[in-house]
Amino acid sequence: MNSKRLLVTAGAIFIFALLWNGLVHLVILAEANLALSPITKPAAERSLGLSLFMTAAVALLFAWSYARFARPGGMKAGLLHGLFFALLAGILVDLNQYVMYPIPASLAAKWFVFGLIEFCVYGALAARLYPINGNA
């Protein structure tokens, strides 16, 4: 495993994740996310450091798992890897949030769709920045 390429890939995914989630949650879904305001912590009580750590951890885990398991590599493998992560996250996070909290199904569905796009872009970035067996 190439540590330098792994860190570059994880770094690119991390930066994309910050930009994407800012756009999606603070701009596109800002009004829809207001449905959560009665059940979420006020912004001042949230941990920015922990949020950044979690984003970096997911980026590194995604890049590492692509490098380790996506065979034979290439764009198709990257997109399939992204799809797998999107489905996993969608079930563990979006569907679980819908089951546990009084949020509209449409909001959970929007989170899922934007997450699907997000993780597929992660896969494309991984395929491009961490070529396996000459595939990019």
Structure tokens, 58: 């997911």
Instruction: Give the pTM.
Output: 0.89
Nearest to 124 by CA among 92, 84, 79: 79
What does the domain layout of the chain look like in residue ranges? 3-129
pLDDT at 37: 79
pLDDT at 28: 94
For residue 43, pLDDT over 80 is answered with no
- In this prediction, residues 111-120 reach a mean pLDDT of 95
First to last CA, the chain: 16
